[in-house]
């Protein structure tokens, strides 16, 4: 599944084409993706202006006037691309062509912009993605959003906050960080990378990062900074293009070339002065990559 940096990369790629545009027509080439598309989907959004693109955890939000929002999830193979009709200019810098199989083009946004009509095409070979439509003012009631923790890039994430969630708990550190109720949008790749940067073992009990008085230890502050930094670096690099993920302009993300531990089983640890080797273990059915020598 795409993680937060990939979704944020897609949001930034689509924003120049979609924000401020009026949805002239919503073309639905099938009635469902992973789930049935919303009832009267096209009729409810056609003719309305797109105010902004935003993101919550791993979900893309397309905000329309009149308090309507499309909630989009890319699933395992979903991607967007931007096309201009003849004579129109694409806004922004997204001019790269990409190979595509049009039989997997399921939803097409026909957008009226000053530069001409632009198409934003949602392509999804496996159809594990989905789209929902609801009032923006009611987003907090959406089942996937109700219990989400703070964003890893927001001001709410702090060592003090994590201390309140970790105190007295024996849960392994990696499992706790993957809990969307603790931190929203943090996934397997970036948890492994953040734990490597902070030299913390994924199997360590979370309570050991909190003092007897419930205060965060210095190690927890280091971890919090590492989470912020690895997410920021991944967004800057355009996300991690593993398997199906691709940016809105058709290019691949580059953060996978900066992995320090993820998917490096059997290779030397890259920590300065460390003589250890990256291992792979399985936690809750997910692969964890870490160095036993320097991550304690």
Q: Which two tokens stand for residue 50?
A: 């797109």
Q: What is the pLDDT of residue 222?
A: 98
Mean pLDDT, to the nearest integer, of 254-275?
83
**pLDDT per position as a tens digit, 68-86:** 999 999 888 888 888 887 6
Query: Is 29 annotated to bind ligand?
Result: no
Report which DSSP code applies to 144.
T
Q: Band of the pLDDT at 115, cuts 50, 70, 90?
A: confident
Query: Is 104 annotated to bind ligand?
Result: yes
Spatial distance between the Cα atoms of 56 and 61, rounded to a whole number of angstroms: 7
Catalytic machinery residues: 2-3, 58, 286
The more confidently predicted of residues 103 and 210 is 210
**pLDDT per position as a tens digit, 189-245:** 889 999 999 999 999 999 999 999 999 999 999 999 999 999 988 887 765 544 444
The top-scoring range by mean pLDDT among 42-56, 94-108, 185-199, 240-254 is: 42-56
For the chain, give the percent of residues with pLDDT over 70. 87
**pLDDT per position as a tens digit, 33-54:** 999 999 999 999 999 999 999 9
Question: What dihedral do alpha carbons 51, 55, 56, 60 form, nearest 10°?
Answer: 90
Beta-carbon count within 10 A of 92 CB: 14
Mean pLDDT, to the nearest integer, of 254-267?
76
Q: Which two tokens stand for residue 156?
A: 């709410």
Spatial distance between the Cα atoms of 10 and 248, rounded to a whole number of angstroms: 5
Q: Band of the pLDDT at 89, cuts 50, 70, 90?
A: low
Three-class secondary structure of residue 270 per DSSP: coil
Spatial distance between the Cα atoms of 276 and 92, rounded to a whole number of angstroms: 45
Mean pLDDT, to the nearest integer, of 256-274?
87
Q: Is the pLDDT of residue 250 over 50?
A: no
Of the candidates 73, 79, 70, 62, the one whose C-alpha atom is nearest the C-alpha of residue 124 is 79
Query: Is 95 annotated to bind ligand?
Result: no
Q: Band of the pLDDT at 90, cuts 50, 70, 90?
A: low
Q: Is the pLDDT of residue 58 over 60?
A: yes
Of the candidates 182, 20, 11, the one whose C-alpha atom is nearest the C-alpha of residue 94 is 11
Report which DSSP code applies to 17.
H
pTM (predicted TM-score): 0.84
Three-class secondary structure of residue 41 per DSSP: helix
Q: Band of the pLDDT at 10, cuts 50, 70, 90?
A: confident
What does each C-alpha distance from 202 to 31, 192, 274 come to in angstroms?
42, 8, 18
Residues written for the chain: 296
Q: What is the pLDDT of residue 245?
A: 41
Three-class secondary structure of residue 230 per DSSP: helix
Question: H/E element holding 252?
Answer: none
Q: Is the pLDDT of residue 23 over 90?
A: yes
Residue keyed to tokens 């360590």: 204
Contacts of 100 by beta carbon, 8 Å cutoff, 6+ apart: 81, 121, 123
Q: What is the pLDDT of residue 41?
A: 98
Q: What is the rounded radius of gyration, in angstroms, for the C-alpha atoms of the chain?
A: 21
Spatial distance between the Cα atoms of 177 and 226, rounded to a whole number of angstroms: 12
């Amino acid at each position: 599944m795409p993680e937060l940096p990939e979704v944020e990369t897609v949001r930034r790629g689509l924003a120049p084409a979609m924000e401020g545009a009026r949805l002239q027509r919503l073309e639905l080439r099938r009635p469902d993706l992973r789930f049935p598309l919303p009832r009267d989907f096209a009729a409810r959004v056609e003719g309305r202006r797109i105010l902004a693109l935003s993101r919550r955890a791993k979900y893309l939000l397309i905000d329309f006037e009149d308090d309507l929002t499309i909630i989009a999830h890319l699933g395992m193979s979903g991607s967007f691309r931007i096309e201009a009709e003849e004579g129109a200019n694409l806004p922004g810098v997204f001019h790269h062509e990409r190979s595509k199989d049009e039989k997997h083009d399921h939803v097409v946004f026909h957008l009226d912009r000053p530069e001409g009509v632009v198409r934003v095409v949602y392509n999804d070979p496996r159809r594990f993605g989905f789209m929902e439509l609801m009032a923006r003012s009611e987003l907090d009631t959406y089942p996937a959003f109700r219990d989400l923790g703070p964003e890893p890039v927001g001001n709410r994430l702090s060592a003090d906050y994590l201390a309140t969630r970790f105190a007295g708990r024996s849960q392994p550190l990696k499992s706790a960080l993957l809990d969307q109720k603790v931190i929203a949008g943090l996934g397997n790749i970036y948890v492994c990378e953040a734990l490597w940067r902070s030299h913390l073992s994924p199997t360590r009990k979370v309570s050991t990062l909190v003092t007897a008085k419930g205060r965060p230890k210095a190690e927890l502050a280091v971890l919090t900074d590492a989470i912020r930094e690895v997410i920021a670096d991944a967004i800057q690099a355009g996300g991690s293009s593993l398997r199906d993920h691709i940016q809105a302009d058709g290019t691949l993300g580059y953060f996978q070339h900066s992995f320090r531990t993820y998917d490096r089983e059997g290779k030397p640890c890259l920590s300065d002065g460390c003589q250890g080797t990256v291992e792979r273990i399985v936690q809750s059915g997910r692969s964890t990559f870490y160095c036993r020598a320097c991550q304690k």
